[in-house]
Amino acid sequence: MQKARFIFTGYKNSFKVFVKNLESLSVSQIQEIQKFVEARKGIFDFTTYTFVIQKRLEFEEFVKVIDLLPINAIVTNDPVKEIQKDRVGFGQYKGMYYSELPDSYLVWLQSNYHGPDKELIDSELKRRKP
C-alpha cells in the first residue's frame, strides 16, 4: 500500500494540506483522510487535492497527530510559503495577510466581494493552486 504524501502549509488560524499523490491512493486510504478532515470540521476539496482545517496547528504538531492515526503518510512542510504585504481591511479577518486566510474564506470572497482588493484575492487563490 502506497503512503499518502502530504504537503503542510500553516496559516495564522488554519492549515492547509495538499495530498500530492491522491490519485494513486486506495479508496480506503482516501476514506481515512476524509474521516480525519470531517472529524475536525474541515473541508476536503477533491478538485485541488487539498483539505483545510480551521485550527491553528504547527507543522510538528500536525506530524504527531498524523502519526497517531491509521493514515500512513509522509508529511513535509511547504517550502514556498510566500507572505504578501497586503492585509485584509475588513470583516472577521481584518488585519491578517491575504496569504494567511483560509482557502474557504478566499473562495467565498472571490464570489461575494467586489471591492478594491478583488485582484489580491484572485491572485492569492491562483498562487495556492498546485
pLDDT, tens only, 15-59: 999 999 999 999 999 999 999 999 999 999 998 899 999 998 889
Same domain? For 107 and 72 the reply is no
Find the mean pLDDT for residues 117-125.
89
Same domain? For 65 and 24 the reply is yes
* Residue 82: per-residue pLDDT: 46
Query: Does the reported pTM lie above 0.75?
Result: no
Same domain? For 109 and 88 the reply is yes
Same domain? For 58 and 114 the reply is no
> What does the pLDDT look like over 56-97, one tens digit per residue?
888 999 999 999 989 999 999 976 554 446 888 888 888 888
How many separate domains does the chain show?
Answer: 2
Antiparallel, parallel or unpaired: β 50-53 and 15-19: antiparallel
Same domain? For 14 and 64 the reply is yes
Structural domain range at position 60: 4-77
Conformational region of residue 95, where left means phi above 0, alpha means psi within -120 to 50, and beta covers everything else: left
